[in-house]
Structure 1
Amino acid sequence: LSPSHGRTDPSFRVRAVNLGGWLVTEGWIKPSLFDGIPNKDFLDGTGLQLKSVTTGKYLCAETGGGTIIVANRTAASGWETFRLWRINEKTFNFRVFNNQFVGLDTNGNGIDVVAVSTIPGSSETFEIVRKPDDSTRIRIKAPNGNFLQAKSEALLTADFTGNSEWGDNDPSVFVMTISGRLQGEFQVTNGYGPKRATQVMREHWKTFIVEDDFKFISQNGLNAVRIPVGWWIASDPTPPPPYVGGSLKTLDNAFLWAQQPSKFTRTDGILISDYRKYGVKIIIDLHAAPGSQNGFEHSSSRDGSQEWGKTDDNIQQTVAVIDFLTARYAKSPSLYAVELINEPLAPGASLESLNKYYKAGYDAVRKHSSTAFVVLSNRLGDIDPRELFPLASGLMRSVVDVHYYNLFSSIFDNLSVQQNIDFINTNRTQQLNYVTTSNGPLTFVGEWVVEWRVNGATKEDYQRFGKAQLEVYGRATFGWAYWTLRNVNNHWSLEWMIKNGYIKL
């Protein structure tokens, strides 16, 4: 037996569902969570492209940042996109392609607009004023009290005073296009602000997943949940801003529900507690690591940047989160596995950093538990799916997590129903076989879904697609986890899929 296969019941397989969008926010899963945010167009990470009405050209951070801002580009791409950092509902910093912040040239005349500072201060803080009857037209008020104006294609200055008629001859007016947005934990908490965010998030945590869901899970052919958490949970109840406290208590509840005892009366009339629990095992998944391991909203990136793993301090901070969580739950019979990080993205997350972190994270889990499996997520991107094997093969009870979606790549855009099913039976089988070895780590399809790029598919088409995936992923030696239990998008909601007969477990 390989060191990874040290389990009491070799035939046991995880049949899990992800509790996505609960303790780590993803706006697309529950859009209504964002409804009450004032000025919710302008959340952290929103990309703005700004066209001067007088030059007819886009503002651009020349060379991507580090020098002046000009107004001379005919089309907008990376250098012409300004990512917002929200201070409050009206004031913002603008971050450019190379991560500097737009500000006033304090070393020069104090009115030229540049992007040189790597840390935003008062000189980099602006107010956005929208035209009352046309929200795509904006003016930007600088910290000196004046408005920005495109004096020429080569010169953007903060010296326009007075009011505006918002006409096309006004150099202080810009037409705004939103090129992208993020809706993660950072955006929702910073958007509401500390007081309101605490109320909104606690209500969400209390209602989005409840004890009855664990009952539903245990009664519908599932035996485990994968619970995404964010790094700030380890600082509960007072996590660093903008995060708010309460997610740890919610995770505690999940552990209670997973093993909820039921009271019943014996035939001789004596009331006793029965610890035949729901029997739901828990996989804790560090979905959002400090600095963001992939730049996506689901890892709580502030503005799409990916900073995780670049310093030893950052890696140690992440290990401390794993240490905290394992120490807290090691004695719970429900703790089945700890996933050290979710979907680190190559090349930003280097294999060297990841291996260093995985070794230290594994040791942190083993300090508190000899039985919990340790799950290592493969990197996203152009990588060898076996790249973690040299490390993982030497670690007892280790698991490699792969995520299989017939989405997010152009190769799936025009596949028919049958071609999608064939892809599962052929390609996914080959991919899973490649990472499943007799002496390597166990394999886990930690995310998959019965959704695709097919238009007009019937219920029977979905049933066949689901059945094919269950059959193939059922061969993973650790098991699988559907993404996700509850979602406004029906096919992404396993609860909806089960209740409506689209999937049978």
Structure 2
Amino acid sequence: MAMNCHSMHREAMPLHGNYLPCNGNQLSLGFASRRLTCLHSRGLGGTDVFSPILVGSNFCLQVKLYLKEHWSTFIVEEDFKFIKSNGLNAVRIPVGWWIASDPSPPKPYVAGSLQVLDNAFLWSEKYGINVIIDLHAAPGSQNGWEHSSSRDGSQEWGQTNDNIQQTVDIIDFLTARYAKSPSLFAVELINEPLSPGVSLENVTKYYKAGYDAVRKHSQTAYVVLSNRLGPSQPRELFTPANGLTRVAIDVHYYSLFSSIFDSFTIEQNIEYVNNNRSAQLSEITTSNGPLTFVGEWVAEWQVRDARKEDYQRFADAQIQVFNQATFGWAYWSLKNVNNYWSLEWMINNGYIKL
């Protein structure tokens, strides 16, 4: 995907009212291939650890000005040309639930993200790029993390019928707005719902209603169902997906965020991709089931002092395995202040060859 995905949904989230959490890896834009080859693009902040930045009384004005500048300069039309020229054919664009309330979103969110998404569609249409709209932040937060707009770690999405219906209405709004665009390729109903806070019963209820909302406006757009993170079964969405057409299941594979990777060597990381990730993907990839989508991955790891050729081998191993996904894959992200999280930097500097 070629557009400032995460920056679209991380507009202004003061932590406990006084801080703006910033993470260079959580502002993003993604790409996919059909087999979808996707990207995300990140931009704000510079570390993998959230850095609280104290803001003053003019916080709201500063954030509005910052975001206006960020949206107008970080991802531009030239980036879509880059995507096209490098053989990428889709962008996965994360958005927040408040985009449906633009230009008057509830506080503390900042208006403007809907116009950014409109621009992304215009550029995608111009360069023949597919768009996957990804609801990355649902009302109440589906996982309690900052990238789903939880201010204090709370996870409240899906606990009431009204909350689920509010989310369905957002999917309805987005699909209706872009259904006639030739670039609308898929709608991802929610990103990374976390178990056990999100039950299989509630996410199944939502996926069925969300699917119907998409189909009300489009018979051709794919509907992407994100697997739950946390305690869950890899094929648990096969039952709710049964009988639905043009559906894909999204899984995210990182060699990070788990202690098992902390002591892995270069060879162990590559072997894990070739053996474990390949087996995990094969388990959910069937000839008569939903399509499979590796919706997020990155050529970054816990290894220190790795050489360029090590990164090349690690990236190539993942591409070879994830090419087996029947819907495609998406790199997180297109642009990032952290080089290895930036597909653009990785391509331009010879670390990744597509």
Give TM-score, length-normalised by structure 2.
0.88
| Residue pair 1:211, 1:257 contacting (<8 A) in 2 also | yes
| Residue pair 1:231, 1:290 contacting (<8 A) in 2 also | yes
Structure 1's unaligned 5+ residue stretches are 1-15, 27-33, 35-42, 46-84, 90-179, 261-277
* 1:318-369 deviations in Å (ceiling 9; x for gaps): 0011000000000000000000000001100111110011000000000000
**1:227 corresponds to:** 93
Shift of 1:22: 2.2
Q: How does 1:345-424 map to 2 (within 5 A)?
A: 345-424=194-273
1:209 aligns with 2:78: no
Q: Which structure carries more relative contact order (alpha carbon 8 Å, separation 6+)?
A: 2
Code of the residue aligned with 2:177 in structure 1: it is R
Give the total of aligned pairs.
325
Shift of 1:199: 1.9
**1:259 corresponds to:** 125
Q: Which structure shows the higher helix fraction?
A: 2
**2:290 corresponds to:** 441
Shift of 1:221: 1.7
| Residue pair 1:18, 1:227 contacting (<8 A) in 2 also | yes
Change beyond 3 A, Cα 1:190–1:394: farther
Change beyond 3 A, Cα 1:419–1:375: same
Shift of 1:21: 3.1
Code of the residue aligned with 1:332 in structure 2: it is S
Shift of 1:24: 2.1
**1:282 corresponds to:** 131
1:21 aligns with 2:29: no
* 1:21-66 deviations in Å (ceiling 9; x for gaps): 320229xxxxxxx9xxxxxxxx844xxxxxxxxxxxxxxxxxxxxx
Structure 2's unaligned 5+ residue stretches are 20-48
Two-structure CA RMSD over aligned residues (Å) = 2.1
Q: How does 1:15-414 map to 2 (within 5 A)?
A: 19-25=4-10, 44-45=14-15, 85-86=16-17, 193-260=59-126, 278-414=127-263
| Residue pair 2:158, 2:198 contacting (<8 A) in 1 also | yes
Code of the residue aligned with 2:191 in structure 1: it is N
Partner of 2:267: helix, strand, or coil? Answer: helix
* 1:129-149 deviations in Å (ceiling 9; x for gaps): xxxxxxxxxxxxxxxxxxxxx
* 1:382-429 deviations in Å (ceiling 9; x for gaps): 211101110112210010000000111111111111111111111011
Report which of the two structures shows the higher radius of gyration computed on alpha carbons: 1
Shift of 1:207: 1.3
**2:330 corresponds to:** 481
Partner of 2:153: helix, strand, or coil? Answer: coil
**1:116 corresponds to:** none
Change beyond 3 A, Cα 1:468–1:347: same
State the alpha-carbon separation in 1 of the partners of residues 303 and 254 from structure 2: 13
State the alpha-carbon separation in 1 of the partners of residues 169 and 88 from structure 2: 31
Q: What is the aligned counterpart of 2:301 among 452, 475, 498?
A: 452
* 1:135-178 deviations in Å (ceiling 9; x for gaps): xxxxxxxxxxxxxxxxxxxxxxxxxxxxxxxxxxxxxxxxxxxx
Change beyond 3 A, Cα 1:486–1:189: farther
Partner of 2:63: helix, strand, or coil? Answer: helix
Change beyond 3 A, Cα 1:373–1:352: same
State the alpha-carbon separation in 2 of the partners of residues 293 and 189 from structure 1: 27
| Residue pair 1:375, 1:399 contacting (<8 A) in 2 also | yes
Q: Which structure shows the higher strand fraction?
A: 1
Code of the residue aligned with 1:429 in structure 2: it is S
Partner of 1:287: helix, strand, or coil? Answer: strand
State the alpha-carbon separation in 1 of the partners of residues 56 and 260 from structure 2: 37
State the alpha-carbon separation in 1 of the partners of residues 348 and 64 from structure 2: 33
Partner of 2:305: helix, strand, or coil? Answer: coil
| Residue pair 1:19, 1:225 contacting (<8 A) in 2 also | no
Partner of 2:214: helix, strand, or coil? Answer: helix
